[in-house]
Amino acid sequence: MSRILAGGLALVLGINALAMLFGSFWWYNAVPGVTATGAYNPHFVRDIGAAFLVAAGGLGWFAWRPVQGWPALAAAAAFLVLHAVIHVFDASCSSNPMSDLIRDLPGVYLPAALAAALAISRRPGA
């Protein structure tokens, strides 16, 4: 089951990463809340897309070879959790924090929580 979950997360995050890399302006306007973070910066969107692509690769590697891919899963989970922490901080500084937290739940917090749970529960030797 953990391999299926990791593979599904890899697929979703990989599609998101490719959209960020190859359709950055479309992505910027399509994802709820992104336009509220500041002016469109194609370089920045692509940089974050590259990080998401690496995270997707780490999750995919774990799905394919769980023992060998666990360190990549841990790195992917670390990025996703740190990204989620930034969103929590930003929400806490906004005029409507609960709305921001709820908006980011499916696309930011859930993937981070799932990847972290996988990394913790599937740690070799655990």
CA dist., res. 117 & res. 23, Å (int): 31
CA dist., res. 16 & res. 56, Å (int): 9
Angle between helix 2-22 and helix 110-121 axes, rounded to 10 deg: 140
Summarised one tens digit per residue, pLDDT across range 56-110 is: 999 999 999 999 999 999 999 999 999 999 999 999 999 999 999 999 999 999 9
Residue 51 dihedral angles phi and psi, to the nearest 5° = -65, -40
Q: Locate tokens 């920045």: which residue? A: 44
Give the pLDDT of residue 124.
86
